[in-house]
Amino acid sequence: MLTCPRSLTAASAVAMLLATTALATFVPSEAHAEILRGTDGDFQVQTRDGLPERGQSQSSVRGQHGEPAQRHPTVGDPPITRWDYDDFSVVFEGEYVLHSIVHGEQTPRRP
């Protein structure tokens, strides 16, 4: 049976950790929202930078965008909540973002 010297195994582990950390610093973290726009029955996904992204906490959204213009009552199980800002809405499941929706000419506003 072949064995590796302990120092070689430790050196390999350190090298792997350093390489992984170096790669992680170069991966851009970009916040965006998916937008579905209906045109003649077709749907298209678009993005916009700076909006809350999936998995972000409610406190993080408040810290980034301030208090919403309107908070809708929580409904269902799991609990779903919607916060409306001037030009976008955020839908939460529990404490975490599910979707961000940009308001536009074709976005219906519901009470």
Is the pLDDT score of 45 beyond 90? no
Mean of pLDDT values over 84-99: 94
Q: Which residues pair with 22 in a beta bridge?
A: none
Whether the predicted pLDDT of 105 surpasses 80: no
Please tell me what DSSP assigns to residue 10. Answer: H
The predicted structure's pLDDT at residue 34? 52
Given this model, what pLDDT does residue 24 score?
Answer: 45
- CB contact set of 90 (below 8 Å; sequence gap of 6+): 51, 52, 61, 68, 82, 83, 97, 99, 100, 101
Chain centroid offset of residue 5 CA: 44
